[in-house]
Amino acid sequence: TSFGFKQVHEEEKARLVGDVFTSVAANYDTMNDLMSAGLHRLWKERLVSMLNPFLGMKHLDVAGGTGDVAFRILDNINKVKQSGIRNRFQDGLEEETQIYVCDINPNMLNVGKQRATEKGYGEDGSLVWVEGNAESLSFQNDSMDGYTIAFGIRNVTHIEKVLSEAHRYDLYSFSVIPRVGELVAGDRESYQYLVESIRRFPPQEKFASMIADAGFQKVEYENLVGGVVAIHSGLKI
Ligand code: SAM
């Protein structure tokens, strides 16, 4: 039946995603640099500056992989801390910053934990590593100030489920969506799957309307490098 076919297709997709990221976990960061000529760093910087993180923030970075976005958020908060700008912490709430890095693949998270130690964030209780599926997460409703998913949403099976999960938590959400150009040093099947997943991902306007349909307001997007990559954002008000 077509249902049977769909089922197989979805299991296959989940398996391929697993295989792709397991085989690349150790070299993932180097690969990112090579493939985007280092540009992913600028894109992530832009994402974090739009997010405008603050001391005491509770943030969920889904498909967080090796922690690249989470480290930047923490770096940014530490910079603000040093600059003495007022924030929730100083206003007496005294809440601890918590950045949750959530990924479906434990190998990516392990590489991330290692990197955290190398960066001096190993003992920092602000980073929390969580294995989980973007389509069905275990955090409480309204427990986060922010949510990001960077270069991750095209890998999921049901975009709508991910967006409705995102809407459960946060005041604002951001995602970086690459439109083209991901190469993976994996087997041909995995590679073809990734190329296909980028080609099939909805265009910017359509994705923006899906974010709005999930309940977010003030949905906007910014194209980078002429739309090769876009940052979508929305607010839960
Ligand atoms: N956000 C990181 C970055 O920008 O460097 C990693 C991006 S990497 C291209 C995609 C990540 O999404 C992988 O680490 C993969 O394991 C994860 N992933 C794929 N499907 C997922 C799902 N359903 N739930 C959570 N993470 C998922």
The pLDDT assigned to 180 comes to: 38
> Comparing 36-40, 141-145, 171-175, 191-195, which segment has the lowest mean pLDDT?
191-195
Show the beta-strand stretches assigned E in the chain: 58-62, 98-103, 127-131, 146-150, 172-178, 217-224, 229-235
Q: How would residue 226 be classed by pLDDT, with cut points 50, 70 and 90?
A: confident
User: Three-state SS for 157?
Assistant: coil
Distance (Å) from CA 62 to ligand 1 centroid: 7
Q: Residue 84 belongs to what H/E stretch? A: none
String of b and e for 69-106 (b: at least 16 CB within 10 Å)? bbbbbbebbbebeeeeeebebeeeeeeebbbbbbbbbe
Per residue in 130-176, pLDDT (tens digit) is: 999 999 999 999 999 999 999 888 888 899 999 999 999 877 666 66
Per residue in 60-109, pLDDT (tens digit) is: 999 999 999 999 999 999 887 777 665 554 554 556 899 999 999 999 99
Give residues (CB < 6 A) around ligand 1.
Answer: 17, 21, 32, 62-65, 68-69, 103-105, 108, 133-135, 150-152, 155-156
Which position has the token pair 């480290």?
Answer: 71
Number of domains the chain is built from: 1
**Ligand 1 pocket mutation pick from 51, 62, 103 by most atoms within 8 angstroms of CB:** 103
The mean pLDDT of the chain is 81
In 28-175, which residue ranges form alpha helices assigned H by DSSP?
A: 28-36, 39-51, 68-83, 106-118, 159-169
Q: Tell me the CATH number at 51.
A: 3.40.50.150
The ipTM is 0.99
**Ligand 1 pocket mutation pick from 23, 104, 147, 158 by most atoms within 8 angstroms of CB:** 104
Rounded CA-CA distance 30/16 in Å is 21
* Owning domain of residue 140: 2-235
Which phi and psi (to 5°) does residue 54 adopt? -140, 160
DSSP 124: -
Distance (Å) from CA 80 to ligand 1 centroid: 28
Distance (Å) from CA 212 to ligand 1 centroid: 23
User: Three-state SS for 54?
Assistant: coil
